[in-house]
Structure 1
Amino acid sequence: MQIKVWDLPTRLFHWSLALSFGAAYLSSRSDQWLIWHMGLGYLMFALVMFRVYWGMVGSRWARFSSFKPSILAAYRYAKHALSKEELAHPVGHNPLGAWAIYTLLILVMVIVGSGFAYWQYDILLGETIHVWASNLSLVVVFLHLCGVVVSSIKQRENLITAMITGNKQGEAHHAISYTHAVWAFFLILIILTFLWVIAYKPSYLGLVV
């Protein structure tokens, strides 16, 4: 049966970070978009900080305690995914997805921190780290997408749609009780505020070129 697994803040964070990262990466190709590139970095930092907070106090399947990273569990899941065996239907994040999430959260912090170090203090090592971390993030995202496709096929469940609607296959007692719309509204305000500042008041963030 279909149950509600992903709350609104979790879904909003997921797609907002994906779009912010994509836009930041593309805007790095032109000096004309440098303000947006740096501003989106600040937004990504704010999004990750919110996710860290939400990972501690959010709904059941959004909490970090529900998807602790495990090398053994990830290996077993990958082995089953690539075999002809039936793949289990984890209610929350699967073991490979858990590693992708933790890795990307760390990489985003490295990207933002190294970019800040290079821009504010002209630390050349910061630029090198910034580029490498950004490219590594693209690799992780690609592997994550491949994992989502394979898992969706093997589980016969569209995991991309699940992160849009919040619904997955599961038993009734695994469903979350609230979608936390108020927190989602709060996150939307954060996102819109950052976008407004970047577009009209970049100096508030020290974004002056």
Structure 2
Amino acid sequence: MTIETPGIASGSAPVQARITVWDLPTRLFHWALVLLVIAMVWTGWTGKLELHMTLGQAVLSLVLFRLVWGFTGNRYARFTEFVTGPISCLRYLGSLFSSSSGQHVGHNPAGGYAVLAMLVLLAVQAGSGLFTSDDIFTDGPLFSKVSSATGSLLSTVHRRTIWILLGVIGLHLLANVFYLVVKKNDLISPMVTGRKLAPAAADAGRGGHPLLALVILAVCAAIVFGGIALVK
């Protein structure tokens, strides 16, 4: 959602209020994913591959949850709220250093595409890991279900996608610093507290009940972990 706040002739600032933007499930998803990605990188680089694969399935469960939550969460968690057309995103990026970019209560257009990019990359990274092998001791849970050529291809995808993912995460972190230092817009604290300073006319994010999120997460985890256990 964008709230345009053009300059007022008298020089007075628009009235702002602190409103609820991010529901609890969205915030818990975000920070759980942060911890899981850190743990996956560490276990992958230190050779703790059994744990690494379990964490990968947990990541897949969270990604699946976020896809569902993008249609069932509160207003600002829904894809319809922050996924815009590419022209809108380019227009936003072109006005990034000016006041004409407006104030976005939820994700801005560039942030929306960053969310989609990270979800896709995480799905590719964790999904390809199911079919990989270290050619020594450890195979992914579904490695035996594909040909050696396919397994080799997916292993290559798995090894290379992590660098793209880390690059996107790095850009995401730099963007947060840019908004905090240059735009004076704190995007980090609201993902902790759920509340954000926004124009008083902005609507608070309603919906996103934690119990519904818990049920969705349980179903997603059952699909991922149970499905893999049945297939392998």
Q: TM-score band, normalised by the shorter chain? A: 0.7 to 0.9
- Between Structure 1 and Structure 2, whose CA radius of gyration is higher? 2
Moved more, 98-107 or 164-173: 164-173
Q: Shift of residue 205 of structure 1?
A: 6.6
**Residues 65 and 217, structure 2, Cα contact 8 Å, conserved in 1:** no
Q: 2: distance between equivalents of 1:188 and 1:124?
A: 32
Q: Which residue of 1 aligns with 2:203?
A: 174
**Residues 111 and 130, structure 1, Cα contact 8 Å, conserved in 2:** yes
Q: Which residue of 2 aligns with 1:162?
A: 190
Secondary structure of residue in 2 paired with 1:160:
coil
Q: Which residue of 2 aligns with 1:44?
A: 59
Letter paired with 1:8:
L
Secondary structure of residue in 2 paired with 1:156:
coil
1:83-141: CA deviations, max 9, x gaps? 35465210110111111110111111111221112222351111110011111000001
1:158-201: CA deviations, max 9, x gaps? 1110111111122355102345232455578789x99xxxxxxx
Which of 52, 63, 66 is residue 81 of structure 2 equivalent to? Answer: 66
Q: 1: distance between equivalents of 2:71 and 2:33?
A: 19
Asked if 1:137 corresponds to 2:165, the answer is yes
Stretches of structure 2 lacking an aligned partner (at least 5 in a row)? 1-16, 133-139
Total equivalences in the alignment: 195
Q: Which residue of 1 aligns with 2:19?
A: 3
Q: 2: distance between equivalents of 1:161 and 1:187?
A: 26
TM-score, normalisation: structure 1:
0.82
Q: Which residue of 2 aligns with 1:99?
A: 113
CA root-mean-square deviation? 2.6
TM-score, normalisation: structure 2:
0.75
**Residues 88 and 155, structure 1, Cα contact 8 Å, conserved in 2:** no
Letter paired with 1:78:
L
